[in-house]
Amino acid sequence: MLHEGSHRLVNARGRLVICVLLAFAAIGYLWVQGGFSFEAVAAQESDLRTYQQAHPRFFYGAAFLFYVGVTGLSLPGAWLLTLVFGWLFGFLPGLILVSFASTGGASLAFLLSRHLLTRIIKPLYGHSLQVVRESLARDGAFYLFTLRLIPAMPYVGINLVMGLTPIKLVTFWWVSQLGMLPATIVYVSAGSTVPDLHALGDQGVSGIISPQLLVAFAVLGLFPLLARLAMRRLGWGSATARR
| CB neighbour list of residue 137: distance below 8 Å, 6 or more residues apart | 241
pLDDT in tens, 187-213: 898 888 877 766 655 655 555 666 666
Residue 174 lies in a domain: yes
Residue 10 lies in a domain: no
When divided into structural domains, the chain yields a total of 1
> C-alpha angle with apex 105: 21 to 77, nearest 5 degrees?
100
Residue 144 lies in a domain: yes
- Report the percent of the chain where pLDDT is more than 90: 23
Residue 15 lies in a domain: no
Q: Which H or E element spans position 231?
A: helix 211-234
Three-state DSSP at 116 gives coil
Residue ranges making up the domain that contains 118: 35-242
- On the question of pLDDT at 102 being above 80, the answer is yes
pLDDT in tens, 26-83: 555 555 445 555 566 666 777 778 888 988 999 999 899 889 988 988 887 788 888 8
Residue 26 lies in a domain: no
pTM: predicted TM-score of the whole model, two decimal places? 0.75
**Can you give the pLDDT at residue 150?**
78
Amino acid at 204: G
Q: What is the DSSP string of 154-185?
A: -HHHHHHHHTTSS--HHHHHHHHHHHHHHHHH
Residue 29 lies in a domain: no
**Contact, 174 vs 142, CB < 8 A?**
no
